[in-house]
């Protein structure tokens, strides 16, 4: 991974050369003209900065030759140094450096966030969907232009190769909740999945597969879910043709649209006041306003038709339909922080 360095560090070689010339000039005047340190330093400054003041003392022939050398080497270096500094400022590299530093601090403070590897057409949709759900995310993409593209969305971006462990660590993979490998390359997605699984065994990984043969490889590499855009698109098109109204409803609740309702999944923690209560006793609909559509049990089975007598147990995940505010109210109810 390319380390973030201050733009002015590129001026260090010229600055060191300039400093060396100044030291040589001071020592030279002390030796050749027998001047004091202050007189020599003053002469060096007015010479290098071409101020044009009169010499401290009349120069000897050897002193004039030495001054010519000092002017040719020192003034040229000073002009180059000043030009490079102005170029860095005009090109905005200082502001870009400060923006990258702020982005790095933001990423370092993230926890339970999502990492998107690859910002193509699929990655763009994933980022928009996660941001619409107000979930923290980081994008990793090798294209430098991705930073400017995501700047209006205020999404932290790392320019680099997502298959690199250093880049994934920079994205905070140890603290992340999920990762989406959605590069256009199946090979890259397999490598990203392998690297991510090795770095975080608890990470939930969703990977994109362009070819059917790649799906098994991604599963073996450690992906929890594998999605084939072409397979999903085919099934969705068939569903739209056969059941248009149902498809429109699912689009509204899963992809937003013109309504506020959407699907949410909320896990029941061990110390929840709703643990061991029935849906009727919990009064979720009356207090939070959401509708419980399904419950996934701790053993992975689903209760697809929950009723008022269905028991809520710690470790269960409730799939609910409601607004974001209603889902937040349910979170508070589950944690016992509000009614």
Could you tell me the CA-to-CA distances from 270 to 209, 267, 334 in Å, in that order?
36, 10, 10
What pLDDT shows up at residue 217? Answer: 93
Q: Tell me the domains of the chain and their CATH numbers.
A: 7-90 (1.10.287.70), 110-227 (3.40.50.720), 260-335 (3.30.70.1450)
Structure tokens at 318: 């409730």
Strand order in the sheet with 178-181: 157-159, 137-141, 114-117, 178-181, 204-208, 225-227
What pLDDT shows up at residue 3? Answer: 44
- Whether 21 and 41 have beta carbons less than 8 Å apart is answered as no
Could you tell me the CA-to-CA distances from 93 to 16, 89, 90, 204, 290 in Å, in that order?
22, 6, 8, 37, 49
Q: Which of 162, 188, 182 is nearest to 232 (CA)?
A: 182
Structure tokens at 194: 């392998």
The list of the chain residues with pLDDT below 70 reads 1-10, 52-53, 87-99, 253-260, 338-339
Q: What are the residues facing 318 on neighbouring strands?
A: 266, 295
- CA-CA distance, 5 to 88, in Å (whole number)? 13
Largest CA distance in the chain: 107
């Amino acid at each position: 991974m390319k380390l973030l360095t201050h733009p002015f560090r590129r001026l260090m070689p010229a600055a060191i050369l300039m400093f060396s010339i100044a030291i040589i000039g001071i020592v030279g005047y002390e030796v050749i003209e027998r001047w004091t340190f202050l007189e020599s330093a003053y002469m060096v400054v007015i010479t290098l900065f071409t101020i044009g003041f009169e010499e401290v003392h009349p120069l000897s022939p050897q002193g004039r030759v030495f001054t010519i050398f000092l002017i040719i080497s020192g003034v040229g270096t000073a002009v180059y140094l000043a030009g490079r500094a102005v170029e860095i400022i005009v090109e905005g590299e200082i502001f870009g450096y400060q923006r990258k530093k702020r982005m790095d601090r933001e990423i370092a403070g993230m926890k339970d966030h999502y990492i998107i590897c690859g910002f193509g057409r699929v990655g763009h949709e994933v980022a928009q969907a996660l941001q619409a759900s107000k979930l923290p995310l980081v994008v990793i993409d090798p294209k430098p232009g991705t930073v400017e593209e995501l700047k209006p969305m205020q999404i932290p971006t790392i320019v680099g190769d997502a298959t690199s462990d250093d880049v994934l660590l920079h994205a905070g993979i140890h603290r992340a909740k999920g990762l989406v490998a959605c590069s256009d390359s199946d090979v890259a997605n397999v490598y990203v999945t392998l690297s991510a699984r090795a770095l975080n065994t608890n990470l939930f990984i969703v990977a994109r597969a362009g070819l059917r043969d790649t799906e098994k490889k991604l599963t073996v590499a450690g992906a929890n879910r594998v999605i084939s855009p072409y397979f999903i698109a085919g099934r969705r098109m068939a569903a739209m043709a056969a059941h248009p109204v149902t498809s429109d409803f699912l689009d509204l609740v899963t992809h937003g649209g013109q309504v506020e309702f959407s699907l949410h999944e909320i896990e029941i923690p061990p110390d929840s006041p709703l643990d061991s209560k029935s849906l009727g006793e919990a009064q979720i609909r009356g207090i939070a306003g959401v509708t419980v559509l399904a419950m996934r049990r701790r053993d992975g089975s689903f209760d697809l038709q929950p009723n008022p007598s269905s028991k809520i147990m710690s470790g269960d995940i409730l799939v609910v339909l409601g607004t974001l505010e209603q889902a937040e109210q349910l979170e508070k109810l589950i944690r016992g922080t509000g009614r």
